[in-house]
Amino acid sequence: MDAEQAKADWIAAENAWFDQFLAAKALREKADRAKAAWMKAYENENMKDTENEDHKTGL
Protein backbone atom coordinates (compact mmCIF):
# COMPACT_ATOMS: atom_id res chain seq x y z
CA MET A 1 0.00 0.00 0.00
CA ASP A 2 1.42 3.36 -0.91
CA ALA A 3 1.27 6.50 1.22
CA GLU A 4 -1.61 8.07 -0.71
CA GLN A 5 -3.75 4.95 -0.37
CA ALA A 6 -2.93 4.69 3.33
CA LYS A 7 -3.92 8.33 3.80
CA ALA A 8 -7.18 7.81 1.90
CA ASP A 9 -7.99 4.74 4.02
CA TRP A 10 -7.26 6.68 7.20
CA ILE A 11 -9.49 9.59 6.15
CA ALA A 12 -12.29 7.20 5.16
CA ALA A 13 -12.04 5.47 8.55
CA GLU A 14 -12.09 8.80 10.40
CA ASN A 15 -15.14 9.93 8.44
CA ALA A 16 -16.94 6.66 9.10
CA TRP A 17 -16.15 6.93 12.81
CA PHE A 18 -17.46 10.50 12.94
CA ASP A 19 -20.65 9.53 11.10
CA GLN A 20 -21.24 6.76 13.65
CA PHE A 21 -20.54 9.18 16.49
CA LEU A 22 -23.13 11.64 15.16
CA ALA A 23 -25.67 8.84 14.72
CA ALA A 24 -25.08 7.63 18.28
CA LYS A 25 -25.40 11.17 19.61
CA ALA A 26 -28.70 11.64 17.78
CA LEU A 27 -30.01 8.36 19.19
CA ARG A 28 -28.98 9.39 22.71
CA GLU A 29 -30.85 12.68 22.33
CA LYS A 30 -33.91 10.87 20.96
CA ALA A 31 -33.83 8.45 23.88
CA ASP A 32 -33.52 11.32 26.36
CA ARG A 33 -36.55 13.08 24.82
CA ALA A 34 -38.57 9.86 24.87
CA LYS A 35 -37.69 9.25 28.51
CA ALA A 36 -38.68 12.80 29.44
CA ALA A 37 -42.01 12.39 27.63
CA TRP A 38 -42.63 9.08 29.38
CA MET A 39 -41.79 10.56 32.80
CA LYS A 40 -44.11 13.51 32.19
CA ALA A 41 -46.96 11.21 31.09
CA TYR A 42 -46.36 8.94 34.08
CA GLU A 43 -46.37 11.91 36.43
CA ASN A 44 -49.60 13.22 34.88
CA GLU A 45 -51.26 9.82 35.32
CA ASN A 46 -50.18 9.67 38.94
CA MET A 47 -51.49 13.18 39.54
CA LYS A 48 -54.89 12.12 38.15
CA ASP A 49 -54.87 9.08 40.43
CA THR A 50 -54.00 11.30 43.40
CA GLU A 51 -56.77 13.76 42.51
CA ASN A 52 -59.26 10.88 42.26
CA GLU A 53 -58.17 9.53 45.65
CA ASP A 54 -58.36 13.02 47.19
CA HIS A 55 -61.90 13.41 45.83
CA LYS A 56 -62.93 10.03 47.25
CA THR A 57 -61.50 10.83 50.68
CA GLY A 58 -62.86 14.37 50.73
CA LEU A 59 -59.48 16.12 50.62
Say whether pLDDT at 56 is over 90.
no
CA 3 to chain centre: 40
**pLDDT number for residue 41:** 95
Alpha carbon distances (Å) from 19 to 3, 26, 55, 57? 24, 11, 54, 57
16-46: per-residue pLDDT in tens?
999 999 999 999 999 999 999 999 999 988 8
Residue 33: closest CA among 44, 46, 17, 25: 25
Contacts of 9 (CB under 8 A, 6+ apart): 1
- pTM of the shown model: 0.63
**pLDDT number for residue 47:** 82
**pLDDT number for residue 10:** 98
